[in-house]
């Protein structure tokens, strides 16, 4: 578990990765050098990667819930993991195998991808949900 001061530092980084060390140090009440050391330790022990978040308003997005043929499951999941338009992929329960968040430059290309996925990939059941707007995104801090 991450301690409270480190959690606050991570919170700053989640909101704005370019925030100045001076601003973070002032808010958490520690010297800049201590904040720097803590940030490096946090990077080594808790961060899996650094990423930039796009403003998604200009993209077509969809959540796709899939139930797959058991004998093709591993291959389909590997295909989805590697596909450039699959933004996130999660294993789920209750009779389904995964949820994929798809992001395409147009709704036409997104629908073509879903149509192709449903024909010939061993998809037994597919539910699609257009992602209309982000209400909250990428803010969790442990």
Helices (H) and strands (E) in the chain, counts: 5, 4
Angle between helices 32-45 and 21-28 (to 10 degrees): 100
Rounded to the nearest angstrom, the gap between the alpha carbon of residue 29 and the centroid of all alpha carbons in its chain is: 31
Three-state SS across 59-84?
Answer: CEEEEEEEEECCCCHHHHHHHHHHCC
- CA torsion 103→104→108→113, rounded to 10°? -70
- Ramachandran quadrant class, 29 (left: phi over 0; alpha: psi -120 to 50; beta: rest): left
pTM of the model: 0.69
Maximum distance among all alpha carbons in the chain? 59
pLDDT of residue 61: 94
User: What is the Cβ-side half-sphere exposure of residue 36, based on CA atoms within 13 angstroms?
Assistant: 6
**pLDDT surpassing 80 at residue 6:** yes
CA gap 70, 65 in Å, rounded: 15
Mean pLDDT of 90-115: 95
pLDDT of residue 139: 65
CB distance 135 to 123 below 8 Å: no
To the question of domain 4-45 being in CATH 1.10.10.10, the answer is yes
To the question of domain 56-130 being in CATH 3.30.1490.20, the answer is no
Which band of pLDDT confidence, cut at 50, 70 and 90, is reported for residue 14?
A: confident
CA gap 124, 70 in Å, rounded: 10
What are the tens digits of pLDDT across the range 32-80?
999 989 888 888 887 776 666 666 678 899 999 999 999 999 999 999 9
Ranges of each domain in the chain? 4-45, 56-130
């Amino acid at each position: 578990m991450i301690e409270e001061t480190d959690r606050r530092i991570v919170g700053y980084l989640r909101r704005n990765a370019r925030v100045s060390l001076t601003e973070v140090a002032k808010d958490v009440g520690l010297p800049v050098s201590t904040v720097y050391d803590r940030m490096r330790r946090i990077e080594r022990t808790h961060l899996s990667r650094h990423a930039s978040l796009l403003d998604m308003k200009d993209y077509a997005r969809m959540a796709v819930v899939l139930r797959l043929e058991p004998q093709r499951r591993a291959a389909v999941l590997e295909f989805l993991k590697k596909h450039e338009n699959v933004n996130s992929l999660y294993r789920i329960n209750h009779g389904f195998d995964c949820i994929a968040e798809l992001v395409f430059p147009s709704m036409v290309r997104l629908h073509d991808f879903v149509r192709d996925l449903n024909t010939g990939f061993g998809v037994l059941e597919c539910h699609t949900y257009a992602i209309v707007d982000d209400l909250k995104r990428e803010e969790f801090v442990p």
